[in-house]
Structure 1
Amino acid sequence: MNAPLSILGTGMVTAVGHDAPSSCAAIRCAIDNFQETRFIDRGGEWQLGASVTLEKPWGGRSKLLKMLVSVLGEALRAAPEVDPSSTPLMLALAESDRPGRLHALDASLLHDAQREMGVALHPDSAVIARGRVGAAVAMLNARKLIHQNGHRHVLVAGVDSLLVSSTLAEFERRERLLTSRNSNGFIPGEAAAAVVLGAPVQSEQPQLLCSGLGFAMEQSTIDSEDMPLRADGLTRALQGALAEAGCGMEAMDYRLTDLSGEQYYFKEASLALSRTLRVRKEFLHLWHPADCIGECGAAIGPAMLAVALASCRKGYGEGNNILLHLGNDAGERAAVVLDYRTVRAA
């Protein structure tokens, strides 16, 4: 099934802004807010991070909850026709086995969000603990809920923080962090983002549509030592999304990705492009918001959708056809084809 989805509204809380307009403006201008954290790396230097500063010094579960409720409220205000009590929420969270992940997060965060918002979420709401690919999986679920189960709208949100001592210690042990001793790594961050999805409607105003989704598994993961990287998984995910959208890679104007600084993922993106682009293009630029907001795990997918919507509505993107791709450390790969256009009667 490749029935399209329309992205109607967004919300963001990042290290560079407490709402979607300010966050997207900072990302557009390549502004970051990387600062020394309270953590020290193995070289004895302060660890850089992209932390979110809220009105009170919340931390842990409380901070995740406050960020989540904020982005949900902003996304709902951007789409006032949405009734939150009849709208399922697909919530993307960190993988259940990631070091430092808060205990019992899946079971409690949805319930806590309902209490904080004063709204009973629809029973079809669910948690998707798949890290960076969580938003794409949520969009797949949303497509079914809207086009098969009759829901008018679905909320897709992600919230995450890697600024946890045990999380940082494990990633530094695996030489994944950017530190004073390692240049091939990412800057950890935290964020939340949300989008409202619905079925496309006939309108003279253009809409940002998801017209293709693709998924696959990569056997040669970032932690593999005995398999060469050929980007088989990402290539298949890209091919699947493009096939659903009925176009080739040459139709894309630019790429939005979850890349956050590690050479492995940049190499994978380059290999996958070389295996899917069969028509010469002078440019197919790669946008990676993590350059500004840090590696923010499960929040990056909805944040990328918010950046795509802002770039289309404000006209600073490189075209109306956008390819998103995401991948987590377990090898799951996802691709999303977006196009910004007017929907008219057939």
Structure 2
Amino acid sequence: MIEGLWQGLTGKRMPAGSATTRWSMGIAGSGIVCPVGLSWPTAAAAIRCAIDNFAETEFVDGVGEPILGARIPPSAGAEEAGDGAEMRLTRAVRGAIAQAASSDAALTPSTTAIFVLLPDPQQRPGFPQDRLDRLYRVCLETLDAAPHPASRLYAQGACALAPALRDAWERLRTHEVRHVLLIGLDSLLNVVDIQHELRRHRLLVAGNSDGFIPGEAAAAVLLTLMQEDSDTRAVRVLGTGHQAAERTYADECPPDGRALAAAMQQALQMAGLQAHEIHQRAVDLSGESYFGDESAYAWGRVLRRYSPSGFQTLLMASCVGEIGAAHGPLMLAYLHDAHIKGHAAGENSLFQCSGTGAHRAAVVTSYR
């Protein structure tokens, strides 16, 4: 299985002798700051219990009614009234990074690459390039010293999860770095994005039941190489898939799920698994029928036998709202907690990400 991951990510066969020590990329630590929890354990427990933090915000719809949102709560009175989304995200991502980094005493900034997932400015006008740059710098400066120069920004939204994990594996397998800190942060609770999505009729407001509740979150997972024959169990990334759709949300055509299905199939093949061997599927759906239909069509294209007993479909947005680029790392962090505490439906998981752009992504992990 690891040979498939190696060849799939590098395009080459494993070097001779590599089979004696088999390696995979695993999650060593996680961090979450979101509307239902300011730490990884509390946030994961709240999501598992289906707790949400939806409340009326200061934003209003076209008829003057308050818009529901999922905002990160104040931390020990640190927030000031009127703090903007960028300030909340700054505090949140610092907390998420600190949680994930503290899990491995061997972590040193100089051998750690930081990969940051942020919104695509072409799809999200509330995140222009200068804001992306500021938030990226916050992530780089959170560790005690400068991180490895391989650190980079992925401003492609949630679907950057797959290419970021591919790049992380490449850096780790060549021993260029010892750790990769994968971070996702996003907030739709800002004036520009709220107005933009209102114009596109995407928000859940009076007169539109086919919309999402805007949210915000920051999540981080610490990735490192782990021996396949180790006695220590861990969530290991076995496969990734990434595909561009021919038709997008903006084309106003019904979805067919082909691109998402192709991404799923890539990830499954790389992992050496079939769809019916997946025990839980974590999806970034947030209430819009377009993406719900796409997800159902895509899964139907790859599933050829009954799923295992107890199969689960996990929706983070039912607790934290639409969190964009933070969705992928938050889903990984949540399943990391579920496996450790024995709440997962089984060892194999599939993660899927879509968006209003063309990109679709899928990731397969296993707890072993």
TM-score normalised to structure 1 length: 0.94
Give the one of 216, 222, 230 matched to 2:249.
Answer: 222
Compute the displacement of 1:218 (Å): 1.5
Q: Once the two structures are superposed, what CA deviation does each residue of 1:213-267 show, in whole Å capped at 9, x if it has no partner? A: 0110122222222x44211100100110001011110110110011111111111
Give the one of 2, 14, 31 matched to 2:5.
Answer: 2
Equivalent residue letter for 2:46:
A
Q: Give the count of matched residue pairs.
A: 340
Match of 1:176 in 2: 202
Compute the displacement of 1:64 (Å): 2.0
**Residues 286 and 321 of structure 2 are in contact (CA less than 8 Å); yes or no, is this contact kept in structure 1?**
yes
Match of 2:18 in 1: none
Quote the Cα distance in structure 1 between the aligned partners of 2:201 and 2:263. 27
| 1:15-26 mapped onto 2 (5 Å cutoff) | 15-26=35-46
Deviates more, 1:183-192 or 1:35-44: 35-44
Are 1:41 and 2:61 an aligned pair? yes
Match of 2:91 in 1: 66
**Residues 96 and 218 of structure 2 are in contact (CA less than 8 Å); yes or no, is this contact kept in structure 1?**
yes
Quote the Cα distance in structure 2 between the aligned partners of 1:16 and 1:208. 23
Deviates more, 1:332-341 or 1:227-236: 227-236
Match of 2:105 in 1: 80
Query: What secondary structure sits across from 1:85 in the alignment?
Result: helix
Q: Mark the CA change 1:108 to 1:166 in structure 2 (over 3 Å): closer, same or farther.
A: closer
| 1:329-344 mapped onto 2 (5 Å cutoff) | 329-341=356-368
Give the one of 231, 240, 256 matched to 1:213.
Answer: 240
Equivalent residue letter for 1:19:
S
Q: RMSD between aligned alpha carbons?
A: 1.6
Quote the Cα distance in structure 2 between the aligned partners of 1:69 and 1:301. 18
Query: What secondary structure sits across from 1:237 in the alignment?
Result: helix
**Residues 260 and 291 of structure 1 are in contact (CA less than 8 Å); yes or no, is this contact kept in structure 2?**
yes
Quote the Cα distance in structure 1 between the aligned partners of 2:138 and 2:115. 15
Match of 1:56 in 2: 79
Any gaps of 5 or more consecutive residues in structure 1? 342-346
**Identity rate of aligned residues, in percent?**
36
Quote the Cα distance in structure 2 between the aligned partners of 1:80 and 1:289. 30
Equivalent residue letter for 2:232:
Q
Are 1:247 and 2:267 an aligned pair? no
Deviates more, 1:310-319 or 1:187-196: 310-319
Deviates more, 1:245-254 or 1:63-72: 63-72
Match of 1:264 in 2: 290
Quote the Cα distance in structure 1 between the aligned partners of 2:196 and 2:328. 23
Give the one of 329, 335, 339 matched to 1:302.
Answer: 329
Match of 2:160 in 1: 134
